[in-house]
Amino acid sequence: MTLLYIYILWVAACVDSISADSHITVSARVGSTAVLPCNLRKEFTERSIVRWHTDVGFVFERSSDKTSIGSGYEGRVDVPEDELRKGNCSLVLKNVRITDDGAYRSFVVEYVDRTNTGKTQEISRVKLSVDVFWNISAEVGSTVLLPCEWSDLSIQTPHIEWYIDSEIVFERKGKESYQGEGYKDRVDVPEDELLKGNCSLVLKNFGFTDEAVYRSSMVVTHTKKSVLVQKVELSVYKKPEERKDETSSSSGEAGINWPHPLIFIISLLMCLFFSH
């Protein structure tokens, strides 16, 4: 009971001490929902505004009568009003993307009038670390699906690239597509799926030489820059019996090869006979 009381006091102290110097790290996988913590020191009033943004742009803002959402975050972010009334200004970020990785800051602004928004106070700093790495094992000769999702459906003609290091495996822009050397008739990102935001790579007739770390990137039209979407490590899957055979084989080579028991007994008897 004493330990529980100490723990509660410690948590309360931590929450109360949140300031511009506070740094919290939150980890999330691509496609999951992340909650970036934030607690108000004072009561949220009709004149209060809570604002979230990153080092590169605006994310979300809520006042007593309206909300504003930054570009690229539509339908993905919120600070629930009922929670805000309780002093919880945490940002809920749905369908996490690799592009969400970075530093986030929350602020509270006391609104006075149109020309004076009063003092802006920073509440917390949160580092969102997005984990995009997948490990997939597949049997030789099988068809493998390398997962990838891009939710910015405002792009009318998505341009996706799958590659290993600097080698292009597959590329699609609209109806046009390119298959890298050694992947002809084996790889595809179906156009109809890509338009839905599904950029998963279909790899047929998987072989030992296909073992590698694959990356997918979406080429942003207006900037001509590639945005990393997914990383997948693909390896050959071995059945349990194959692993057992390999273990037995290696154990036999490394161990001592004992002779047949009958030969051993005869040799021992002959040794005793001649010793007399």
9 within domain boundaries: no
Indicate whether 96 and 198 sit together in one domain. Answer: no
Q: Is residue 18 over pLDDT 50? A: no
Cβ atoms 135, 235 nearer than 8 A:
yes
State the pLDDT confidence band at 101, using cuts at 50, 70 and 90: confident
Q: Is residue 6 over pLDDT 50? A: no
Q: Which of 96, 131, 166 is the last residue of a domain?
A: 131
Domain of residue 24 covers 17-131
Q: Is residue 235 over pLDDT 50? A: yes
H or E stretch at 24: strand 23-29
Indicate whether 106 and 22 sit together in one domain. Answer: yes
272 within domain boundaries: no
Total domain count, the chain:
2
Percent of the chain with pLDDT over 70: 73
Task: Give the model's pLDDT for residue 246.
Answer: 54
Q: How far apart are CA 85 and CA 195, in angstroms?
A: 40
Q: How far apart are CA 128 and CA 101, in angstroms?
A: 5
Indicate whether 40 and 74 sit together in one domain. Answer: yes
258 within domain boundaries: no
Indicate whether 156 and 215 sit together in one domain. Answer: yes
Which of the residue ranges 20-29, 38-47, 167-176 has the most confident prediction, judged by mean pLDDT? 167-176
Nearest to 98 by CA among 236, 214, 246, 218: 218
CATH of residue 39's domain is 2.60.40.10
Indicate whether 69 and 123 sit together in one domain. Answer: yes
Indicate whether 78 and 66 sit together in one domain. Answer: yes
Please tell me whether the overall predicted TM-score, pTM, comes out greater than 0.75 for this model: no
